[in-house]
Amino acid sequence: MTNSHGRRVHVWLRPIAVWVALVLLGLASLGSAYLPLNAFNTSLNLAIAGTMVILLWLFLMDLVGSEALVRLIAVAGLLWLSFMFALTLSDYFSRACEGPGDVPPATCVNQKTNRGAF
Amino acid sequence: MSDAVTALREPWPDLDRQREGVSVGIWLFIASEVLFFGALFLGYTVYRTLYPEAFRIAGAQTDVFYGGVNLLLLLTSSVTMTFGVDASRQERRRTTLVCLGLTMLLGTAFLIFKGFEYSADIAKGLFPGAHFPLQPPQTQLFWAFYWVMTAVHAVHLAVGVGVVGVFALILWRRLLPIESPGMLGVATYWHFVDTVWIILFPLLYLVGRS
Amino acid sequence: MTNAAIADAAVGTEPASYLEAGHTLISWLTTTDHKRIAILYAISITLFFFIGGIAIAMVRLELMTPHGLFLTSDAYNRLFSLHGIIMVWFFLVPSIPATMGNFLLPLMIGAHDVAFPRLNLLSWYLYVFGAAFTVYALLSGGVDTGWTFYTPLSTNYATGYVIAAAAGVFVVGFSSIATGVNFIATIHMLRAPGLTWFRLPLFVWGMYTVSMVMVLATPVLAMSLLLVIAERAFGLPIFDAARGGDPVLFQHMFWFYSHPAVYIMILPAMGVVSEVIPCFARRAIFGYTFMVYALIAIAVIGFMVWGHHMFVAGQSPLANLVFSFLSFIVAVPSAIKVFNWTATLHRGQITFEAPMLYALGFVGLFTIGGLTGLFLASVPIDIHATDTYFVIAHFHFIMVGGTVSAYMAGLHFWWPKVTGRMYSEAWARFAAITTFLGFNATFMPQFVMGWDGMPRRYHYYPDVFQAWHVMSSVGALILAVAYVLPLIYFGWSLIYGRRAPANPWNATGLEWQTSSPPPKENFLRLPRVEVEPYAYSDTDQVSGANNRMPVRAQGETA
Amino acid sequence: MTTDSFMTAASDYASEVDNTFWVLVTISGLITLLVASLIAGFSLRYRRGSSARRGPLPERFGHEVEIGWTMATLFLFLFIFWWAASNQLSALDVPSNALEVHVVAKQWMWRVQQPGGAREINEIHILENQPIRLVMTSEDVIHSLFLPTMRLKQDVLPGRYTFLWFTATKTGVFHLTCAEYCGTDHSVMAGRLVVMTAPDYARWTSAQPEADDLAHQGEALFFALGCSGCHAPTSSIHAPDLRGIYGHAVPLADGRIVTADEPYLRDSILLPEKDIVAGYAPIMPSFRGAVSEDDLVKLIAYLKSLSTARTLPSRQAGEDEVPTGAQ
């Protein structure tokens, strides 16, 4: 545990470095929200949030140092989430909005019209 | 209880194996929590793709100051928790207890700020209901998810603060040795609650700003 | 039984069984011994099985005549809702994992206890706490939304105790998450030396895959019910159509859990049957690795098929097509398992004790249930058949014909190990056959009337269907009798039953190598495993130096 | 209500579904028979103490059989999926000459509005061999219109339209009922689908109480609610001219272009500020609450009738019509 001096510095340095990175990323996402990038805004924010989560999980929760099984479980949660998102959104995105007036805009994603505002 | 209280629990052969067990167990719980919040994010995503315009109008009403400060608080609390885990691994009693105390402090500060934000929102009448100030009515969907998401997260955080407090008390009263594997479980749960806020922040506070 | 004597001698004097480790109520309510928690679960789910049974007995009686007998429509609606909620969440989901899983998992992998014994007890208390909510809702008037809680009926228009019932189910969901977490950690980390993954008995694989589904599916149910409570209690417009909400979104979230839930019910049943058939056919299971991959495939693909519950709910045609295709794919592993069970009987030395009768009944009824699932997976047929009695017959074939038969098979198979007593074989066989006949009499007519257009959840029905309903109700009476019988002869065996030897069925598996009932710490010496599971073979086979596996006699001489 | 009011396949689509059903019944029957006879056969032949040959199977034999029946099952299931999917896809496209019948589901009754204006409760009278397209919505919970003889069912959702189309080929009185649990009297929410020959249908429509057809009722509402105050071409207020609008593209203020279909018209009446037409101020008041579902159906029918280029019959007779529609 408390053997090499390197281990001790490393123990203090890494969390601080990760904290700085997280704060900077948070500020970046906050700042970018005010830029008029319309569609790109959302994906940028989510991408930054994603990297923050990955940083937190790998270093602060020490997934890097833990067993393969634990890493597998961490990924499994996210994988199952993708099943749910993919198939549910496949329903919403494929509901016809125009044409034979199949379903009114109330619950259908109108790709042509609101691509911009996504 | 033998005086040298051992952290070893019944079915485990040794402490390292028990630590791995706790890690597997808590991460399985985290996987289930990912899906628990995932269902909420699914609802948010569906409605945001259905009514982007309404979500833009509604999103502009949230208070970025509170969201940002709370994010900072939780990020810092994650770091203090990591220091706590490392200190407990190295059996440095005082540092562990200080880190746990700091984490609780930051968590409580988050909850207090949340309380201010909620009262400000209520004052602005932003609770979905009959005379909701914003139009069109779909803006109430955003605010319905705002209240549910932040409330569920706040409950998780309050439970987190409670658990950290109880665990710190156990360590302080020497009911468990400082290097007990339970520390890993508490820390991992806390980091997860912070993860949820990292994702909640852009979804609720950075909508409709540009 | 010749080899039983050998097993007893090997164990030395009879160790104090887990039942002697404390007789006070407190010792039972604060135990962390996985075997006692299994007994606590067994008692509570049997209680709820009969509460749900009484509810549906009144419904079947009511349906004898087209215009009702003694119930108002509202009472009828609350009874079938109650039957659904109690049977799904308070009997079927915990039935095999929480009772046999808790009792046998550590025994089968050669461990002293599950990975987190205190979490195991918490799981039972969560079950009791959830049950309290539901019983409160039941006693104060019941809930009239069906077990599916569809919005906007459950949020704005239902008059019953929706919040209490939803809260009850919300809490009991965490009980099965806790069990799931416990089992996965146990199987990964506490296996006996030499017990590699592909030497695990299929029951343990069943527990592993079911725990995976429980941990990953139940949270989404918890969230969907939480949103129903939020909308009903605080008026938050989450699924409120007037303010842009979409009731179909609730159905997506609900069925994302509720279809994997039916796999939570069937996977352990498959595990039990894969233990029982090889033992009574004296043959190793046919295609062990295919059976394992089939279990895993069902658990994983089971998460991608929920849309077949919503073909007429307003889903887009493309989603109907995608979910229909995936539902056909998930049916393939189940078909493989049926063929493998059947092939296991080939060249066996088959005997027909009660567990085997239930297991063979399971294979037959599960085949019919699975095939009718194909009907409902094809969109045009489902459009006609959904929400009719065809669907009710389909899922009862899987849940009652499948899971309850397998539960009974497991109950009889491991009863000597759990209680140290033998049940009366004659009565058990009679009960098994009566169950099979009563079951078919109840649910075969429902297939016919369902395809004719008899909608489900109907209190008054067109008198055209009365003949089928009377047949079904009479069948239900036979089934009720068949389910009460085990209660009687199992109870009788507790007091007067013959003392059971360590291995009455001469079965392989570590749980049979310790005494019946097993000591508190399961094994006096940690067993080593060198040989494949199901090492049944009719030739006398002595394997390995220290011969941990009991010697197979040349077919029982008795 | 005799059995055939449930059982007979009263449309070509229904007999197609029946064929698929009976093919599946035979396939399932064969598989069940196969499994049952194998179990019974093995149980008999290999019961303990019988003299049949035992001994281990060759390992290779195990794998061959295993892969064999896995593939067989997979291809059989894919075949069934292909058959069912082709059946489903062919039923998707609605014939253009379909007659639109509006159905509003309410807790425990069906309100039906024929295009000719006739209104019915729990009954739908239709002409045989005439494609019918049901445009359905609900006023409270989720219901589901179930026509057993058409082998068709479609959930009816609040706040949104769902559709069901069929062409009845047999005449007679058939069963109609609710299939999605909707509360206390879910089981009483039944009705009749009456398929009539042409003369009967003509006699029935004329026997209906003298109700204008939907468009006329819509027109009356158009003036009663004051829409004509702004939208009539003669009005001084700058508002979009609605003649010939149905089915055409409408440029919106924020640059989007939408087709003015039924849902767009419905939303423009209930939530006018949602899609503001390019070049017009968002001054239109919302009619949410003031207009019931039935009035909405009439108004939309009236606006659609304008699209047949009939001039707007303005109140002041003799006004010469200057088409000012800008699109």
Lowest mean pLDDT among B33-37, B68-72, D66-70: D66-70
- pLDDT, residue D308, reads 53
Q: Are residues A21 and A32 in the same domain?
A: yes
CA atoms in the 13 A half-sphere facing the CB of B83: 23
| Residue C431 near residue C479, CB atoms below 8 Å | no
Subunit contact B141:C222, Cβ cutoff 8 A: no
Label residue C14 by pLDDT band (50, 70, 90). low
Instruction: Report how far apart, in Å, the C-alpha atoms of C438 and of each of C356, C395, C448 are.
Output: 18, 16, 17
pLDDT in tens, C160-218: 899 999 999 999 999 999 999 999 999 999 998 888 999 999 999 999 999 999 999 99
Considering only CB atoms, C111 lies closest to which of B11, B31, B148, namely: B11
Statement: residue C68 has pLDDT above 80: yes
List the single range of B92-101, C118-127, D56-65, D86-95 with lowest mean pLDDT: D56-65
- φ/ψ of C370, rounded to 5, equals -65, -40
- Average pLDDT for residues B48-60, to the nearest whole number? 90
Q: Where are the alpha helices (DSSP H) in C190-316?
A: 202-234, 247-281, 288-301
Q: Do C331 and D152 touch (CB under 8 A)?
A: no
C287 interfacial to chain D (CB closer than 8 Å): yes
pLDDT of residue B5: 62
Strand partners, D173: D194
Q: Chain-wide mean pLDDT for chain B?
A: 91
**Are residues A23 and A74 located together in one domain of the fold?**
no
**Is D148 close to C453, i.e. CB distance below 8 A?**
yes
> Is the CA virtual torsion B19, B21, B24, B28 positive or negative?
negative
Among residues D133, D146, D128, the alpha carbon closest in space to that of D191 is found at: D146
- In terms of domains, do A61 and A71 share one? no
What pLDDT is stored for residue D203 in this prediction? 87
* Cα distance between residue D67 and residue D75, in whole Å: 12
The pLDDT of residue C263 is above 50 = yes
Among C315-319, C369-373, C471-475, C510-514, name the one with the lowest average pLDDT. C510-514
Say how many residues make up chain B: 210
CA torsion through residues B175, B180, B183, B188, sign: negative
- Are residues A58 and A4 part of one domain? yes
Q: Percentage of residues in chain C with pLDDT exceeding 90? A: 74
| Helix or strand holding residue D199 (H, E) | helix D198-207
Give the residue from chain C lying closest to B182, CA to CA.
C116
Q: Return the pLDDT at C545.
A: 26
Contact residues on chain A for B33, CB-CB shorter than 8 A:
77
Question: Cβ neighbours of residue A112 under 8 Å, at least 6 residues apart?
Answer: D256, D257
| Nearest residue of C to residue B129, measured between CA atoms | C235
pLDDT in tens, D290-322: 788 878 877 887 887 776 543 444 333 333 333
pLDDT over 90 at C541, yes or no: no
Domain C28-513 CATH superfamily: Cytochrome c oxidase-like, subunit I domain (1.20.210.10)
What does DSSP say about strands D143-147 and D172-178: parallel, antiparallel, or unpaired?
antiparallel
pLDDT score of A99? 34
pLDDT, mean of residues B7-33: 88
Inform me whether the pLDDT recorded for B134 exceeds 90: no
Confidence band (pLDDT; 50, 70, 90) for C480? Answer: very high
Cα–Cα distance, C411 to C397 (Å, whole number): 20
* Alpha-carbon gap, residue D118 to C372, rounded angstroms: 42
Tokens of C66: 């087209």
Q: What is the rounded average pLDDT of the residues B62-71?
A: 94
Contact D161 A103 (CB under 8 A): yes
Report CA torsion sign: C138, C144, C145, C147: positive
Q: Give the bridge partners for C510, in sequence order.
A: none
- Asked if D181 and C153 come within 8 Å (Cβ–Cβ), the reply is yes
DSSP alpha helix (H) spans, C386-424: 389-396, 405-419
Range of the domain at A19: 1-65
Residues A53, A5 share a domain: yes
CA distance D147 to D174: 8
* Domain final position from A65, A81, A103: A65
- C78-93 exposure pattern, b = at least 16 Cβ within 10 A, e = fewer: bbbbbbbbbbbbbbbb
From A65, A89, A110, the end of a domain falls on A65
For residue C37, give the H/E element and its range: helix C34-62
Residue ranges of domains in chain B, CATH in brackets: 63-125+142-205 (1.20.120.80)
pLDDT bucket at A116, cuts 50 / 70 / 90: very low
Higher per-residue pLDDT: D278 or C512: C512
Cβ–Cβ contacts within 10 Å for residue C521, how many? 15
Mean pLDDT of all residues belonging to chain D: 82
Residue A69 to residue B24, Cβ atoms within 8 A: yes
Residue-level pLDDT at A109: 66
Greater model confidence, C5 or D186: D186
For residue range C99-151, list pLDDT tens digits in order: 999 999 999 998 889 999 999 999 999 999 999 999 999 889 889 999 999 99
- The strand pairing partners of D146, in sequence order, are D153, D177
**Residue among C74, C287, C350 whose CB faces D62 most closely:** C287
- For residues C381 and C375, the answer to whether their CB atoms sit within 8 Å is yes
Tell me the average pLDDT across C411-426.
Answer: 93
**Same domain assignment for residues A42 and A24:** yes
In degrees, rounded to 5, the angle at the alpha carbon of residue D315 between the alpha carbons of residues D313 and D321 is 50
Most trustworthy range by pLDDT among A103-117, C355-369, D244-258: C355-369
Q: Are residues A13 and A56 in the same domain?
A: yes
Are both A116 and A80 inside the same structural domain? yes
Residue in C116, C190, C219 closest to B25 by CB: C116
Between C552 and D212, residue with greater pLDDT: D212
Cβ contacts (< 8 Å) between A25 and chain B: which residues?
none
Q: Are strands D249-251 and D191-196 parallel, antiparallel or unpaired?
A: unpaired
Q: Which residue has the higher pLDDT, C515 or C466?
A: C466
The reported pLDDT for the residue numbered D56 is: 74
Return all residues near C525 (Cβ < 8 A) that are at least 6 apart. none
User: Average pLDDT of B111-130?
Assistant: 93
B chain contacts of residue A92, beta-carbon cutoff 8 Å: 46, 49-50
Q: Which of C277, C308, C40 is nearest to C179 (CA)?
A: C40
Q: How far apart are CA D85 and CA D187, in angstroms?
A: 31
User: Higher-confidence residue: A102 or D104?
Assistant: D104
Q: Within this chain, do residues A51 and A80 fall inside the same structural domain, yes or no?
A: no
Query: Which chains contact B through at least 3 pairs of Cβ atoms less than 8 Å apart?
Result: A, C, D
Under 8 Å CB pairs connecting chains B and D tally to 6
Q: Does residue C281 sit at the D interface (CB-CB below 8 Å)?
A: yes
Q: How far is CA C93 from the centre of its chain?
A: 6
Shortest Cα distance from A99 to chain D (angstroms)?
8
What ipTM did this prediction achieve?
0.87
Report the 10 Å Cβ neighbour count for C142: 21
Contact status, residue C308 vs residue C329, Cβ threshold 8 Å: no
Query: Does C302 reach chain A within 8 Å, measured CB to CB?
Result: no
Q: Do B39 and C188 touch (CB under 8 A)?
A: no
Domains of chain D and CATH, by start: 1-40+94-211 (2.60.40.420), 214-306 (1.10.760.10)
Q: What is the pLDDT of residue C348?
A: 86
Question: Number of folded domains in chain A?
Answer: 2
Can you give the pLDDT at residue B82?
A: 94
Same domain as A39, residue A3: yes
Question: Given CB atoms, is B50 within the 8 Å cutoff of chain D?
Answer: no
What is the per-residue pLDDT for C11? Answer: 44
Residues A60 and A71 in one domain: no
State pTM to two decimals: 0.87
In DSSP terms, which residues pair with D138 in a beta bridge?
Answer: D105, D158
Q: What does the pLDDT average to over C52-69? A: 93
Same domain, A90 and A44: no
Show the 3-state SS of C359-380: HHHHHHHHHHHHHHHHHHHCHH
Residues of A in contact with D266 (CB under 8 A): 104
Using the beta-carbon criterion (under 8 Å), do B46 and A41 form an inter-chain contact? no
Is the pLDDT confidence value at C233 over 50? yes
Mean pLDDT score of chain C, rounded to an integer? 89
* Mean pLDDT to the nearest integer, C547-557: 35
Minimal CA separation from D166 to chain A, in Å: 15
Any idea where the domains of chain C sit in the sequence? 28-513
Which pLDDT tens digit goes with each residue over A23-55? 999 999 999 999 888 778 889 999 999 999 999
pLDDT by residue (tens digit) across A64-113? 888 899 999 999 999 999 999 999 999 998 887 643 333 344 566 655 44
Task: List C-alpha distances in Å: C17 to C26, C284, C410, C499, D323.
Answer: 18, 31, 21, 13, 97
Report the C-alpha gap between C358 and C354 in whole angstroms: 6
